[in-house]
Structure 1
């Protein structure tokens, strides 16, 4: 009887968190959809300025930059815009943080010009509105995933909400531990930390997902030096992100790589903290021996080409 009462009390505590997560996920999907619609109707620059938080980040030539500053300085061009849509979305149980990911297509003179994958991290602002805090993407090869009527969420259950008094420090410490372990045993560390639903995005490559992602990273040729810049953990302690800089010296099978990274961490019910999304952007000149460089843009879900070569 006591066990049943205890279980009932636990479930009662979890119900509000579950409700917050579902409502937040729906709000994030709506915000992303409205963001994309505004890009198509009013222009991508207008959309980015309206939807980015004051400290929101994008990548510009592989380096982190303030989204507001980048887009205020970028002139708009008729017929040049970007479209995208979410194919996956998740939110923290506290309802204060979430993300979406999906394909984007840039248009130049109203013609498709480039395509890739994006990740947008959303955070609820003090006024209750959702703004993005990180928007990052890559140009890729392969076919874009189809648009879906109902945007799915991860299949694996999150761990029970565990509020933290130092959210940023917690997720950055997790990311640092991963970075240190990865320097010693890169392939094994990725296999240990990747979620079975993980998505890895690399410029010029198709998305790596789930078992394929773990298999690809198993024989990683040389480790990366990851330097976290900032991050945030949801109040429920189950979802967070870290952005930072990366470098990898040239090896026998790869050129020197320099750039930035976004890593989304999720605390799963069975396996604990796992990487569910990881995106790399490289600075111009990086990876030349592997793939053509991304367009001269901050490759995110609204970054438009700025040079004639695009």
Structure 2
């Protein structure tokens, strides 16, 4: 895949003054090293096979969804090599102030190992990366959705302005912060259930948020997010676990959800990446629903 233009493009998203860089980050930054870890992971999936790439790049306690959350390395270690190749490329990335916790997301393409065979599926991946004690980046959580074919393969890397700048931060108690955030996630559900309005949910969504739904492209415009949420008025979710960066400014949660609908009831698992805004409030920047396949 082509990657990015050489010029630096400043994009204004949603017209709300939230700027993203569409260029390579500073070569000495933690963000750049995380991106390169993602790209190395993708290359290994092509050169050594998908199974070996996941076994090598997942952390010991990494979470994947099959369809519910499970420890990922044992699952991949027990799998036989796949007659399948996956190609992917990071498109949007961000990193915590601590420089050891971030996320990467972008399009993926599923191919047969037969030469010149057409793609057999498309999707989007979302990965949480954490830096290990030895300085290596490993995937702490991996989830994805199916999506239509992406016509534009000129993938440019985007990240929030300043994400590749080293920051001074105060160490936080990650367990305390995690407990607090899980409680906040649950509180959001109670507030949404009580009010049954999109506005109640949007108060917790960052302007730059991206929403992922099965079979669709990611939604990243506020009006489109409103429309998406309006179709799921009766959704209930319950957090299971999560993690918070050492700097306390980025985190994730995941859990189960259920959509009560006479026409199309659904249940499955959700994943959210959170980031503190300039008022220190947690806001959702990534929201994923991964439905459990219906029983046949």
- Same fold, TM-score > 0.5, yes or no: yes
Distance 1:77 1:273, change over 3 A: closer
1:1-310 maps to which residues of 2 (within 5 A)?
Answer: 23-60=29-66, 62-78=67-83, 80-110=84-114, 111=117, 112-141=119-148, 143=150, 146-148=153-155, 151-155=157-161, 161=169, 163-165=171-173, 166-186=176-196, 187-217=198-228, 219-251=230-262, 254-269=263-278, 272-285=281-294
Distance 1:46 1:269, change over 3 A: same
Contact 2:122 2:149 in 1 (8 A): no
Query: Deviation at 1:70?
Result: 1.6
Query: Deviation at 1:241?
Result: 0.4
Give the whole-Å Cα distance in 1 for the aligned partners of 2:231 and 2:161: 27
The count of aligned residue pairs is: 263
Contact 1:190 1:214 in 2 (8 A): no
User: RMSD in angstroms over aligned alpha carbons?
Assistant: 2.7
Give the whole-Å Cα distance in 2 for the aligned partners of 1:240 and 1:206: 24
Give the whole-Å Cα distance in 2 for the aligned partners of 1:145 and 1:104: 13
Question: Which has the larger strand fraction?
Answer: 2
Residue 167 of structure 1: SS of its match in structure 2? helix
Query: Deviation at 1:266?
Result: 0.6
Query: Deviation at 1:46?
Result: 0.3
Q: Which sits farther off after the overlay, 66-75 or 235-244?
A: 66-75
Contact 2:232 2:259 in 1 (8 A): no
Give the whole-Å Cα distance in 2 for the aligned partners of 1:265 and 1:215: 19
Question: Which has the larger helix fraction?
Answer: 1
Q: TM-score, length-normalised on structure 1?
A: 0.77
Query: Deviation at 1:210?
Result: 2.7
Higher RCO, 1 vs 2 (CA within 8 Å, ≥6 residues apart): 1
Query: Deviation at 1:213?
Result: 3.8
Q: TM-score, length-normalised on structure 2?
A: 0.81
In structure 1, runs of 5+ residues without a counterpart are: 1-19, 289-310
Structure 1 segments (4+ residues) deviating >3 Å? 144-149, 155-163
Residue 158 of structure 2: SS of its match in structure 1? coil
Give the whole-Å Cα distance in 2 for the aligned partners of 1:215 and 1:140: 20
